[in-house]
Amino acid sequence: MNIGAKIKDLRVKNGLTQEELADRSELSKGFISQLERDLTSPSIATLTDILQCLGSDLCTFFQEEKEEQIVFNDTDYFRKMDPELGNTIEWIIPNAQKNAMEPIRLSLEPGGRTYPDNPHDGEEFGYVLSGTIYIHLGKKRYKAKKGETFYFKADTTHYITASSKTGASILWISTPPSF
């Protein structure tokens, strides 16, 4: 573990200069500088004092951070097929319901559709990857074809149908997650 870099990161996140951290922890600016460059090591007592000034503790500081997955591929996706409605939903970001937005890839067979979604807080955005779709918002219907996008507030009952000739595939993003 690179203690110096981690202390520097905490210091910067707290908006402190080396001098301010040194004053708060009753150490010299030179010591803080050497510590951040891993030229010296603090005693446990000194490290505890520094971390207290940075709003942390030994346990939290030495906890290994889990590497966050950034790139996802086909093996990460969760699929749900609905032969009755003629659609396949792919959750393309695992556990996205814990995030601020939830992207899915929706494939619709010719004439396929989604279940009507009741009004809810949030917004919906989509990009038509292939085919033609119809976005049903309350009693209105909007057409979108390959290369076009849609965006709406989810404050009315809404669902999507595909052209009976082509079917469709779309990238659909909901915020907050609702799929």
pLDDT in tens, 126-151: 999 999 999 999 999 999 999 999 99
What's the CA gap between 153 and 131, in Å, rounded?
23
Comma-separated ranges of CATH 2.60.120.10 domains in the chain: 74-175
**pLDDT tens track for 5-53:** 999 999 999 999 999 999 999 999 999 999 999 999 999 999 999 999 9
Q: CA-to-CA distance for 173 and 105, rounded, in angstroms?
A: 9
What mean pLDDT is reported for the chain? Answer: 93
Instruction: Tokens for 152, please give them.
Output: 């709406």
At residue 176, the pLDDT reads 81
pLDDT at 111: 96
Maximum mean pLDDT: which of 62-66, 91-95, 103-107: 103-107
Half-sphere CA count of 82, side-chain side, radius 13 A: 14
Stretch(es) of the chain classified as CATH 1.10.260.40: 3-62
The C-alpha atoms of residue 130 and residue 146 are separated, in whole angstroms, by 5
Residues 163 and 89: their CA atoms lie apart, in Å, by 17
Nearest Cα neighbor of 162 from 140, 141, 138, 139 is: 141
For 3-62, CATH gives 1.10.260.40
Check whether 179 has a pLDDT greater than 70: no
Assigned CATH class of 74-175: mainly beta
What's residue 178's pLDDT?
A: 72
Identify the three-state secondary structure at position 160. strand
pTM of the model: 0.65
Percent of the chain with pLDDT over 90: 84
pLDDT at 17: 93
Confidence of residue 65 (pLDDT cuts 50, 70, 90): confident
Please enumerate in sequence order all residues whose Cβ is within 8 A of that of 149, keeping only pairs 6 or more positions apart, or say none. 125, 126, 127, 128
